[in-house]
A and B are shown apart, each in its own frame.
Chain A
Amino acid sequence: MATAEATTKTLKVQRFKPSENPTNTYLTDEKGVWAWMTTVDHKKIGIMYLVAVAFFFALGGFLAIALRTKLLTGASIDFIDADAYNQLFTLHGAIMVFFVLVPSIPAALGNFIMPMQLGAKDVAFPRLNLASFYIYVVGAIFTFIALALNGLDTGWTFYTPYSTESGSSVIWVTTGVFILGFSSILTGTNFITTIHKLRAPGITWSKLPLNIWALYATSVIQVLATPVLAITLLLLIMERWLGIGIFDPAMGGDPVLFQHFFWFYSHPAVYIMIVPGFGIISEVISTFSKKTVFGYWAIALSSLAIAFIGFLVWGHHMFTSGQSAVATTVFSFLTFLVGIPTGIKIFNWVATLYKGSIKMDTPMLYVFIFLFLFSIGGFTGIMLGTLSVNIHLHDTYYVVAHFHYVMMGGTLIALLAGLHYWWPKMTGKMYNERLGKVSAVLIFIGFNVTFLPQFVMGSQGMPRRYYNYIDQFAPFHQTSTIGSYILGVGFLIMLYYLLHSLFRGEKAPANPWGSRALEWQATSPPDFHNFGHTPVVIHGPYDYHQPMEEFQLGIAVDTNGHGKDTHVEPDDPELDKWKNYSLG
């Protein structure tokens, strides 16, 4: 390495042990409503997203409970008539997809955790980050205006020509979703830039936490796919408003074209929702097994592979739509290919457990639930990608069950794993572990009781989006509804113990799980600038065979321009060897 000598930069480093009793945190700096609303701190913005997402999740969940309650019987009932039911499932879908799943992990947890995992003080464009949040809020306001006017009854997919003719507030909602898309694009751009430019000294691409790889892949999809949704919705608005025939055959358009446009975004969007979940699973499974993630590169690169192939499979939503036979064949083939990297991830996670030191705390319990439910989601996805079988199952409850296993059993359960995992870091408080487990088990049971029967009734022919059903399906629908109530109870318990934790919770230590990841080397809750120093990283985030002290290094204070208080661990003889660390 003689030649490298010339380019090597020598950094003076020292250990910064995170204080267990931080006096200055992001929660004590810049207090008050106005300070929060105008903050450019990625942590506060992340928390604001989290609150918004939780609110929309509660709203979407309430709609789901209402429509499951209607489906206790196949008869027409007064308090929910067919039109009200159509609004319920449309709004449930639209809210859960656009306002919960898409922003949940990247914009809420990602915003909070990503800069900390990179050892950065904030994202690359903090003001843009705040703008993204307000764009999300404006999109939400448009949707509420639609609710107050005529609601929406088109299904979350807005299929034409129904959506061209519908008397509901299609323009308000599509405009809202159009605006929302910009929030997604800007967040993606911000994240890509941050990951490229703001990594702390020593964080090479091979030392990047897998959560960052996942967010990176997600951001690429967000930036590339979301504009197509914007174009599609704009065309729909033009058709309804200006009468320009694009999709409506009555005006010379083609309704199948709309489906191509719509799924060109909405299929990659499925990966916008699930890939960041993969990131969380990798982090949690490593921490609670105290072990290097098995197959780091396989997991990292499979996220990118999914992001790429995910763009080429949209037509598998349209096998019965009348698209060409060649297209149908190719889309089916590519759909199987996208299943492979997903399978690889599952196998690598399971292999990570081998010879680990496994602690079954709530976040890890959610990871196990994820592995089980998401595997079912994956296998049933293979079933649906199969041409002849898809013809039978398309637009039945089998599809409904499949995407709930992927989106709720996958993304949402991963979100809960991440929420419980990072909760002590974000709030500085611990939650009640026992209630956490009770709630996780209830959610697991409730979820399966709700959605397993839907696979059966779907295979038997029960179509989706049906207000009525024939008697044959009654036992399945009733079981499913009971399951949804169990799910509801599980979430209420969670709401209780998380609120309890916020106000009365035990103080969290800086690193309650003993993780080696960088975000855990900050105080809980973190400093306003995340770290009072510039972290220096010499090991990978999962190197549990290395001593904890070597994960707490930073540029030595005398070379740090900031006068901020830092928690210096002076002259630890063990760390002498790092005093003049060379970044090769």
Chain B
Amino acid sequence: MGRLFDFMLPEAKSPTADSTDALFHFINEVSLVLLLGITIAIIYFAVKYRRRSKDDKTPVITHNNALEVTWSVIPLMLTLVIFWWGYTGWLNLRAVPDDAYEVKVTGFKWAWNFEYENGAVSPNELHVPAGRPIKLVMISRDVLHSFYVPEYRVKHDVIPNRYTYVWFEAEEPGESQVYCTEYCGTSHSMMLAKVIVHEPEEFNTWLATANIPGSGTPVEQGKALVETNACQSCHSLDGSDLIGPSFKGIWGREELMSDGTTITVDENYIRESILNPGAKIVDGYQNQMASYQGLLDDDQIDAIIEYLKTLE
């Protein structure tokens, strides 16, 4: 139904959004009425009681207890209603339905990674079936992030030392935008993802063909690792200059280091740059990258090296 403040909200695509939106509209409408009341009273008084002469006499009106009680109790009642309404709506946001389909979410600077029941992963794309509650179990690998989908009206911080969760149910197939809403540094505003909602059968097909880490040739594995770790958000694949040197044509390239020495990119340089990124910095770049010690094992590093060799 059309309401005055409809233009403010994005489309609602999860069942819990209805309660949130109804309350959003209610508060806006009550506020508008009160704001108009206050504004009209001010303007009316300012005109009607404008100063006519320097010697105007004003009546002594010190207070009025009935009025004080009225304008304390009515707002109090209103806010209690709003509190209760918001509280019950929020309980629904926190109470996950029993049959929810679970997806693991990892947030890190600056990408999202989604992991499914069969081990498949999909960087920056969350694939879900329509018409089924989805529970996301989330953790951060570095600083605070926050997982936000405006169209589902859900948000929760993603924290490094504990799991947090959100749930939603996408009613129709389609796409929704995901944002990171906790400031996390240079590319905070690029830490975006998409929710891709499939028909249930279509989702199963997707899941069966989705990339499972550790499968395929070393080059394919390396490519998947680069994507799931969002290496390309700092190291472009097309030669453009981002936070770090581009991966394009990196193999065998001669690089000038910030200490004036020159090195040729080989296996050991790549390995060192992954495990101890601050050891050698290419001239013109900042020491920004975090170590992947403990996050990538030797086989995975080998696979990444094989993949980088192919980026000519």
Contact = CB atoms under 8 A, between A and B. Distances in A.
Contacts of B54: 514
Interface stretch (B81-89, B224-232, B265-273, B301-309): B81-89
Interface residues of B, number: 86
A343 interface: yes
A545 B42 CA distance: 23
Interface residues of A, number: 89
A256 B144 CA distance: 10
B60 interface: yes
A499 B57 CA distance: 36
Interface in B1-30: 7-10, 16, 19-20, 23-24, 27-28
A445 interface: no
Nearest to A295: B63
Interface string A438-467: 000000000000000001100111011111
B49 A353 contact: yes
B80 interface: yes
Given A332-B86, A350-B42, A465 B35 contact: no
Please classify the interface of chain A as helix (H, G, I), strand (E, B), loop, or mixed, using the class held by over half of its residues. Answer: helix
A162 interface: yes
Given A386-B82, A389-B27, A389-B86, A294 B61 contact: yes
Nearest to A544: B58
B56 to A, nearest CB: 3
Nearest to A258: B144
Interface in B133-177: 142-144, 146, 148, 150-151, 153-157, 159-162, 164, 177
Interface string A313-350: 00000001110010011001100110110011011101
A381 to B, nearest CB: 10
Given A340-B75, A392-B150, A460-B10, A320 B156 contact: yes
A334 B87 CA distance: 13
Interface in A357-403: 357-360, 368, 371-372, 375-376, 379-380, 382-383, 385-392, 394-396
A249 B189 contact: no
Given A379-B34, A392-B155, A297 B148 contact: no
Given A256-B159, A395-B181, A469 B58 contact: no
Contacts of B63: 294-298
A461 B148 contact: yes
A122 interface: no
Contacts of B75: 339-340, 343
Contacts of A346: 38
Contacts of B190: 468
Contacts of B38: 346, 350, 371-372, 375
Given A320-B146, A322-B162, A463 B49 contact: no
Interface string A389-429: 11110111000000000000000000000000000000000
Interface of B: 7-10, 16, 19-20, 23-24, 27-28, 31, 34-35, 38-39, 41-42, 45-46, 49-52, 54, 56-64, 67-68, 71-72, 75-76, 79-80, 82-83, 85-90, 92-94, 142-144, 146, 148, 150-151, 153-157, 159-162, 164, 177, 179-190, 286-288
28 contacts: A86-B183, A86-B186, A86-B188, A159-B182, A159-B183, A167-B288, A255-B161, A290-B58, A292-B58, A292-B62, A295-B63, A321-B159, A322-B164, A332-B86, A336-B82, A340-B79, A354-B61, A357-B58, A358-B49, A372-B39, A382-B27, A383-B28, A389-B20, A389-B24, A460-B10, A466-B189, A467-B189, A545-B58
